[in-house]
Amino acid sequence: MGLSYEYDILKKKLKEKGFKLTPQRKSILDVIVANEGKHLSAEEIYELVKGERPEIGLATIYRTMQMFDEVGMVYKHNFDDGRSRYELYHDEDHQHHHLICINCGKVVEVEEDLLEQLEHEVENKYDFSITNHNLKFFGYCNLCRD
């Protein structure tokens, strides 16, 4: 899957919801795509975007990230560090799990879906159709543990 394919999908999502990919939104999206997997906060996105677009304000970043979340372009995560963090959404994604170091704040993605069997058991036991889940493990990374 190429970057232009990714942009086409994201532009389509925006258009379906009545939004356009303005130059400011494209700059924000460029930063998110270039830093995929880093779980950036709005403040971190702002610091990276303002080099290319010094006229952009932090409030614009917050509004755009809220809109990207509502449209389904990003996941909004809360890792209990006082900031919302964002991750690019892919249509084929099922929520993955995160390991969060309570000392340094490092976030590691666990790509395996460890709860698939548990999901099926819960669905059957409670007659409930699960569409997704979110699991966070808190502890100490290998550097902070020593």
- Specify whether the CB–CB gap between 123 and 133 falls below 8 A: no
d(CA 69, CA 88): 9
pLDDT tens, per residue, the chain with 146 residues = 455 656 677 778 888 888 888 899 989 988 988 888 788 899 999 999 998 899 999 999 999 999 998 888 888 887 777 788 888 876 555 566 778 888 887 888 777 767 778 888 889 999 998 877 777 788 898 999 87
Helix, coil or strand: residue 138? strand
Chain-centre distance of CA 105, in angstroms? 16
Question: Which pLDDT does position 1 carry in this prediction?
Answer: 46
Phi-psi region of 37 (alpha: psi -120 to 50; beta: other; left: phi over 0): left
Question: Which pLDDT does position 98 carry in this prediction?
Answer: 77
Give 124's Cβ-side CA count (13 Å radius): 6
Please state the domain extents for the chain: 3-88, 97-145
d(CA 126, CA 35): 39
| Cα dihedral: 124, 127, 130, 136 (round 10) | -70
Structurally, what CATH architecture does the domain formed by 97-145 represent?
2-Layer Sandwich (3.30)
* CATH 1.20.120.160 is held by the domain 3-88: no
